[in-house]
A and B are shown apart, each in its own frame.
Chain A
Amino acid sequence: MPALEVSHLTFTYPTATRPSLTNLSFTVEAGELVAVVGANNSGKSTLCYALSGVVPNFYRGRYAGSVVAGEMNTTGYTISELAQKVGLVMQIPANQLSGVRYTVFEEVAFGLENLGVSRSEITERVTAVLAVTGLSNLGDRSPYQLSGGQQQKLALAAVLAMSPSILVLDEPTTFLDPEGALKVFDILLELKQQGKTIIIAEQRLEWVAEYADRVIVLANGELVLSGTPEEVLISNIIKEIGLEWMPYTRTAELANQMGLWESDRPLPSTFAATVTGFSNPEG
């Protein structure tokens, strides 16, 4: 049984004239890290909202099809109930702060307090997620004193504390420098190794290539391509939907035209594959 099953999902916001998502169907297996890529307004954020139940429970537009997380159909539960199954990390971390907690520790504890978790268990779980996200030494700091990267980690920690088996992240590295983004992806990789199912909307294809098991490509709310990063990220569809190939892929393509890259060797999607391709032309 898949961790997440999306069937014929179509959604139109109440004031919109055309759907933001059109007839999407796909599944995500437990422990998989799936990246959702697409240009701006392709429906990535709406899909994240749909996977976590924000659509249609908060944004009540025209909704058809279904999203089933484990055994929970998102239309049959409140967002708060779904939060224990599917954790959502939004794009702007500052907006994800509760606004009513004074320290990082208490901010992470906020969700657990709402679930009625005992004080001792709160301490245990918050301490654990702060360690995972590298925020242990900032527990007594005000959330508003943190940098953008630290706030992003805090948003992730706050969701992780609620122990969802599925994590949905909407462009979590938008406001991060490369080092901050790398740290976030390293955390995600660790969580994946712990068995979490992760769906991440992301525009930075170099991270997707390195970390994702599978890539889903959205264009105008439709699923136009799905496959492994090696298959998807070198596809011409990536360019057609308004994204750019990664520098590695472009370099190899140029090298191919100049006869410096073997024509039967697939174009690379990672730095390592590029290095291998250039250093071992026969291999």
Chain B
Amino acid sequence: MLRPEKKSVATLFVSRKTWLHKLHPFNKLAYILLTGVVVYLGPAEWYVKAILIVLNLGLAIRGEVFKATWRLVWRTLLPLAFFMIVIHGLLYPENRTILISFYGVHFCQEGFLFALNILLQLTAVLTASLIFVLCTHPTDLITAISQAGFPQSLAYLVGSPMLLLPMMRARIRTIQDAQRSRGLDSEGSFKKRFLALFPLVAPLVLGSLVEIEQRSIALEIRGFSTTGPKTSFRTLSDTKWQQLLRWAMLSVSMLIIIYRIWK
């Protein structure tokens, strides 16, 4: 049988043959939910979040996506961490204990710890989400949604943005090349790059709107709206154990939510 090649050109997905890749997409989604519920509604202690982060990084190693996870986490969180630590360290309303004082500006412990806590929460959810994105083929997600009995249009709505990304990239490159050939300078300083965005965005948006119409026709002529039963060429493994695991994660999530509401 034909298999997708190793390197994904379309999405962040990294093609590997690990058990994490084979796991049903809904299980990975349930894990994101559980992680989010635990870090935001579960025990407030920092080490709970730290344990989850370590667990997620361990999963990333098992899924052979650790490098990609690490790279994306840093790229996403480093600028965020810088601003959050500075802003909360200086402006957090409960700031009392001064750690650093510089010309009358006080950087305080309470704000610093508050920012760290938020960063831990974000890291835990981000790493769980990255495991999902890096180890789940978009087509598997679409197939899972369809096979679960949801409307085909919902599956398309969820899955298509991930797979249409390369086409958008190609279009952006074409527009950039066209604008550059007409003398638009999109290299150099931040200001120049920022100003070069406007001639890029307008044709991109208008082109995409036209394309929506064409794509709708393309889907129709491929039988997208037929009402009869549909089949799937891709097969997803969804064993009893996987289903049990999924329901366990969903149940724990619900219990935590109910506990928090009741409490």
B is a partner of A = yes
B2:A114 contact, CB within 8 angstroms: no
Instruction: Provide the B49-68 mask, 1 if CB < 8 A to any CB of A, else 0.
Output: 00000000000000000000
A194 within 8 A of B: no
Count of inter-chain pairs, beta carbons less than 8 A = 134
Q: A141: which B residues are within 8 A, CB to CB?
A: 5
Q: B234: which A residues are within 8 A, CB to CB?
A: 106
Q: How many residues of A are in contact with the other chain, CB < 8 A?
A: 49
Known pairs A99-B164, A100-B142; A80 contacts B231 (CB<8 A):
no
Tell which of A85-93, A206-214, A228-236 binds the partner: A85-93
A27 within 8 A of B: no
B104 within 8 A of A: no
A79 within 8 A of B: yes
A83:B229 contact, CB within 8 angstroms: no
Q: A84: which B residues are within 8 A, CB to CB?
A: 223
How close is A101's CB to chain B, nearest CB, in angstroms?
6
Known pairs A106-B139, A119-B233, A144-B166; A114 contacts B224 (CB<8 A):
yes
Q: A142: which B residues are within 8 A, CB to CB?
A: 4-5, 8-10, 166
Instruction: Provide the B150-190 mask, 1 if CB < 8 A to any CB of A, else 0.
Output: 00100110011001101100100000000000000000000
Known pairs A54-B217, A58-B216, A90-B214; A80 contacts B159 (CB<8 A):
no
CA distance A43 to B148 in the complex (A): 44
B137 within 8 A of A: yes
A113:B230 contact, CB within 8 angstroms: yes
A79:B10 contact, CB within 8 angstroms: no
How close is A106's CB to chain B, nearest CB, in angstroms?
6
Question: Among B5, B166, B220, which residue has its beta carbon within 8 angstroms of that of A140?
Answer: B5
CA distance A52 to B218 in the complex (A): 12
B221 within 8 A of A: yes
A140:B224 contact, CB within 8 angstroms: no
Q: A116: which B residues are within 8 A, CB to CB?
A: 226, 228-231
A189 within 8 A of B: no
Q: Name which residue of chain A comes closest to B137, CB basis.
A: A102
A144:B9 contact, CB within 8 angstroms: yes
Q: A94: which B residues are within 8 A, CB to CB?
A: 167
How close is B211's CB to chain A, nearest CB, in angstroms?
6
How close is B172's CB to chain A, nearest CB, in angstroms?
14
Q: Name which residue of chain B comes closest to A84, CB basis.
A: B223
A201 within 8 A of B: no
B214, B220, B223, most chain A CB atoms within 10 A: B223
